Amino acid sequence: MNFPYFCCMVKKLKIDGIDKIIIKRLVNDARTPILSIAREVGISGAAIHQRLRKLEASDLIDGYKMTLNPKALGYTTTAFVGVFLDSSSLYSSAIKRLKEIPEVVESHYTTGNYAVFIKILCKNNEDLMHLLNKDIQNIKGVSRTETFISLDQQIDRQIKI
């Protein structure tokens, strides 16, 4: 089905075809010149800026960022770690400590077996083992961890609009 408008549930935002083109171009390459998009859709650069401000204000656009290649920086091991807590009341203090560990790049409060599921980038397996044994498993309330090492990543994408 093809709907003329995509409705964002956050703030009742209507997105038209021009908005979709703007979003698609910037998701593909956030450095795409605004004037290039303006020429493509046939409106002024000021109108593109105005639409972007509206999309940002609606919370649809969460931000703009540069993405670094971890392997180029020597981070060759990616791991996902399920963290078991002694009690769910320890969640906030455990997250506070996990935020102090630079190699922890994502955390998710989850249902199921783990209280927290984290993504870690390390230089190698030895660094991962050290991080798990010395840093993560020594956090007060962490009863144990379960680690999954990523062998390959084939999909890394944004949600489509």
State the Cα angle at 28 between 43 and 32, rounded to 5°: 45
What's CA 117's distance to the chain center, in Å? 14
Query: 115 and 78 in one domain?
Result: yes
Rg of the chain on CA atoms, in Å: 21
Domain encompassing residue 20:
6-57
Query: Structurally, how many domains does the chain consist of?
Result: 2
The count of other CB atoms within 10 Å of the CB of residue 70 is 15
DSSP structure class, residue 160: P
pLDDT at 161: 86
Q: Report the C-alpha gap between 129 and 113 in whole angstroms.
A: 22
Query: 41 and 103 in one domain?
Result: no
Is the per-residue pLDDT at 23 higher than 80? yes
Q: What is the pLDDT of residues 115-155, one digit of tens each?
A: 999 999 999 999 999 999 999 999 999 999 999 999 999 99
Is the per-residue pLDDT at 6 higher than 70? no
Q: Report the C-alpha gap between 5 and 128 in whole angstroms.
A: 46
Q: What is the CATH number of the domain that holds 88?
A: 3.30.70.920
Q: What is the CATH number of the domain that holds 11?
A: 1.10.10.10
Q: What is the pLDDT of residues 51-96, one digit of tens each?
A: 999 999 999 999 888 889 999 999 999 999 999 999 999 999 999 9
pLDDT at 65: 86
pTM for the full predicted model: 0.82
User: Is residue 156 included in any domain, yes or no?
Assistant: no
